[in-house]
Every structure is written in structure tokens, then in C-alpha cells.
Amino acid sequence: MRTAKSIIIFFLLWASYEINAQQLSTDQSLKDLEYLSSPKLEGRKPLSKGSQLAQDHIRARFRELGLGSQFQDFTQPFSLPSSISKKEGKAKNIVGFVPGSELDRIIIVMAHYDHIGVKDGEIYHGADDNASGVAGLLSLAAHYAKHRPLHSMVFAALDAEEMGLLGAKALLEDFPFSQDQIALVVNMDMIGRSDNDRLYAVGSRHYPHLLPLLEEVSKTAPIELFIGNDGGFGKKDWSKASDHAPFHAEGIPFLYFGVDDHEDYHRPSDTFENIDQAFFLKAIDTIFRVMEKFDSSQL
């Protein structure tokens, strides 16, 4: 009898995963990830031809989805310090918008699209870091463009993270709404593979009202959702590890989703072929479940 109940529970959980997966465009997510990490884009270094191609792709996807924007052609340009780049031109965040149906509060969904570029003649493809996060962002944008959320949502593909979180700082400094309206920042940085099948959710130690939501999702998530890595005695602290950091410094609640560094981190071997496609799709599904819980909670 107990075995029969276990089988029924398994299939109910699997059915739930299948329904969520159908709500998200898994095929398109993989196509976006593959293109953004392809040799053609040469590692997407800021101000490079590959960076421009990445921008064009993200803009085209935003247009295709019917997203709005507070920035002309979805583009928020910003200058790079001369101490970092001698090249002329401006780095660019690509920012889309979906209006909420009931609330004037905002969820920012972000992922940096830049990477290292070409070094010593080798392309650093940046498939996991962070074409995976951008592909996840586009998947979530596709869903909420069709299914209007309660909160308004800003979808920000950020430039120059690898140069010191410069795109995130530029977005915060030139944010088109009052910062008081930001209810949550969701940052995805490296969600494409994991040696232990674990996705980390960082931030609830600083913002405890997010913990019950994460704990609820973790019970039925298709992968292990590890809540932590945000400090505490003897614990890893990723509170300042990526583009959520400038927002956290202003006291704006965040959730950062990512994985441990792996053997291909910041190496030319971080390619699409080394992405764990099953983990990647389950990671997007898990993040989607968290966003759904938060949006409906009206926290």
C-alpha cells in the first residue's frame, strides 16, 4: 500500500513538472543558450562585435515577445571607465518590461550576457557563465509576456558584469522607476550545470520574508534547491558575488540563483556541449516556481 502511494506521489510530482515545463519554451531556451555561446559571438566581451550580436539577439527576442521598454530600442547605454577599457563606445544593457495587472510593485529579473571574450587566440564561450542565465531570462520573459503577472516585471540583460558589475550599477543609477517600487531582484548567473544536481538560492538570510516561499518551492522542485550561501558563521557568502550586489547594498531584496564553480568556469571549455541540458531546464522551472509564488504572494 505504501509503495502504491509512493508511485502515485511520484507521478503527481512529475505531472506538475511537465505542466510547468510546457508553460516555458524549453526548445527555445536551448536555442538561445546555444546561439549566445556559439563561436560566432566570440565570448561577448563588452564593446566587441560578439557583444553587439548578443544585444541584437536579445532585442529581437524582446520584440518578438512584444515586450515594452522605458529605454529607446530596449537599450540603456553606459560608459566604461577608461581604466578598464581603452576602446571607444558604450556598453549596453538590454531592458524589457511587462506591466503588472494589479500592483505598482516591480520584480527585476536579470542576467548578465557579457563574458571574457578572446584571450591568447582562444574563445571563452561563456555557456554557463552566463548564456545560461540570459536564456533563462528570455524563457521567463516569454511566459510573462503571455501570462500577465500581478507585479510589473523588468527583464534586464546586463553588460560588463565581468568588469565589476558595471551593468547592474548603471541600471540601478538610471532605473526608470522609483527604487521604492522594487519588491524583488531575481538574478540568474550560471544555472546550466551542476556536479551535485544542486541549484543555490541566495538571499533569504538577509531578507527572511523570502525564506518560507523558498522552503515551499523546495519541497516539490525538480532539482535540489539549496537555500543558503548568504553568510553566517563558517558559511559561503555569495551576497556580493554577482549583479544583485549593488541592489543589496541599497537594501533591496534579492534572490540569486546559481551553482558552484566547476572545472570549466572562466575557461574556453565552458561551451554549449558541456551544458547539462536536463539540469538547465529544471533550474529554469524551479526559478519560475519561485517567481510564481512571489508574484501571487504580493509580498
CATH 1.10.357.10 fits 2-297, yes or no: no
pTM above 0.85, yes or no: yes
The C-alpha atoms of residue 222 and residue 201 are separated, in whole angstroms, by 14
pLDDT of residue 229: 94
Mean pLDDT of 19-47: 87
Q: Angle 49-65/26-36 helices, nearest 10 degrees?
A: 160
Measure the N-to-C terminal CA separation of the chain; round to a whole number of Å. Answer: 41
In degrees to the nearest 10, what's the CA dihedral of 51, 286, 141, 79? -30
Higher confidence at residue 121 or residue 25? 121
| Structure confidence at residue 82 (pLDDT) | 87
At residue 49, the pLDDT reads 98
pLDDT attached to residue 9: 33
pLDDT in the model for residue 235: 83
Contact 265, 127 (CB under 8 A): no
pLDDT band at 23 (very low <50, low <70, confident <90, very high): low
Mean pLDDT of the chain: 92
The pLDDT score that the predictor gives to residue 225 is 97
102-141 residue pLDDT tens: 888 999 999 999 999 999 999 999 999 999 999 999 999 9
What is the gyration radius of the CA atoms in the chain, in angstroms? 18
pLDDT tens digits, one per residue of 257-285: 999 999 999 999 999 999 999 999 999 99
Tallying the residues shown for the chain, one arrives at 299
Instruction: Read off the pLDDT of residues 192-204 as tens digits, 9 standing for 90 and up.
Output: 999 899 999 999 9
CA angle 216–106–37, rounded 5-degree value: 80
233: confidence class by pLDDT, cuts 50, 70, 90? low
pLDDT tens-digit series, residues 65-102: 999 999 999 999 999 998 888 788 999 999 999 999 98
